[in-house]
Amino acid sequence: MTTVGEIHAVNPRMTCRRVNVYYGDKHAIKNVSIDIGRNEVLAMIGPSGCGKSTFLRCLNRMNDTIEGCRVTGTITLDGQDIYDPDLDVVLLRAQVGMVFQKPNPFPKSIYDNIAYGPKIHGLAQTRAELDEIVETSLRKAGLWDEVKDRLDHPGTGLSGGQQQRLCIARAIAVSPEVILMDEPCSALDPIATARIEELIHELREQYTIVIVTHSMQQAARVSQRTAFFHLGDLIEVGPTDRIFTRPRHPLTEDYITGRFG
């Protein structure tokens, strides 16, 4: 199936070419090619089961952890093949961080949630450097003022929205290039959701963000480009305002006008 629209980004950070994903016999992603641009928020939308999470997981090789899952095609990050057998997957997952649907802080203190990654990646030589990374990451995630006086409290004691910002701070702490978010607001109330959306705006200056969302309003609010998936095909991709005002493919139009989904 040929994708309608502009799969190319002006300044690509990641490129995906002819990507296929199989779970055993099930063909879950079908020959998808798309670029992910620098400092852009790319939204991935489409009906439940169309392959959004599966495709997102290709971008940092999280599918490697799923038994029976096979990925073919080529995906690069800054020109490097991320499926190169010599590549350090732990490092890749720091460069391409991930935030999940349900906030999943470690059962550790707020401080240790952030410090854990930098420690294992050797990003800090001294306690002062580690403190610095923890503070900077929490500031970038818009959480510092709320937690600075209780860094030793458990991360799991925070509200849902705060936990999700803690998870974003944890991803930021290991200096990622790209941050993947899989329906990051689906467990949050509207106020916490608005807070995360604001944060996504701010983070775009420094990071490339790919967000899966079941909310078309959210895609319209936070992204510059939108990709519409249907039954494992990438049907259409293009500038978000164009996708929502003048979709070119009838399936995209049916989806955004609420005829199915």
Ligand X SMILES: Nc1ncnc2c1ncn2[C@@H]1O[C@H](COP(=O)(O)OP(=O)(O)O)[C@@H](O)[C@H]1O
Footprint on this chain of ligand X (rule: CB under 6 A): 23, 26, 28, 46, 48-54, 66
Closer CB to ligand X, 158 or 234, in the complex: 234
Residue 51 interacting entry, from Mg ion, ligand X, none, C-beta within 5 to 8 Å by type = ligand X
Residues 6+ apart with CB under 8 A from 234: 1, 3, 7, 32, 33, 34, 227, 228
Helical H segments across the chain, by residue range: 52-58, 89-95, 110-120, 127-140, 144-147, 160-172, 190-203, 216-222, 240-245, 250-256
Closer CB to ligand X, 50 or 173, in the complex: 50
Min separation Cβ 149 and ligand X, Å = 38
Q: Cβ(35)–Cβ(7) under 8 Å?
A: yes
Buried b (16+ CB within 10 A) or exposed e, 138-154: bebbbbbebbeeebeee
DSSP letter, residue 246: S
Residue 170 interacting entry, from Mg ion, ligand X, none, C-beta within 5 to 8 Å by type = none
DSSP letter, residue 116: H
Residue 23 interacting entry, from Mg ion, ligand X, none, C-beta within 5 to 8 Å by type = ligand X
Helical axes 127-140 vs 160-172, angle rounded to 10°: 130
Helical axes 127-140 vs 110-120, angle rounded to 10°: 120
Closer CB to ligand X, 17 or 27, in the complex: 27
Q: Contacts with Mg ion in 9-68 (CB under 5 A)?
A: 53
Closer CB to ligand X, 137 or 182, in the complex: 182
Min separation Cβ 66 and ligand X, Å = 5
Residue 26 interacting entry, from ligand X, Mg ion, none, C-beta within 5 to 8 Å by type = ligand X
Q: Which of 212, 90, 109 is nearest to 166 (CA)?
A: 109
Min separation Cβ 48 and ligand X, Å = 4
Residue 109 interacting entry, from Mg ion, ligand X, none, C-beta within 5 to 8 Å by type = none
Closer CB to ligand X, 131 or 254, in the complex: 254
Residue 54 interacting entry, from ligand X, Mg ion, none, C-beta within 5 to 8 Å by type = ligand X
Binding site for Mg ion (CB under 5 A): 53
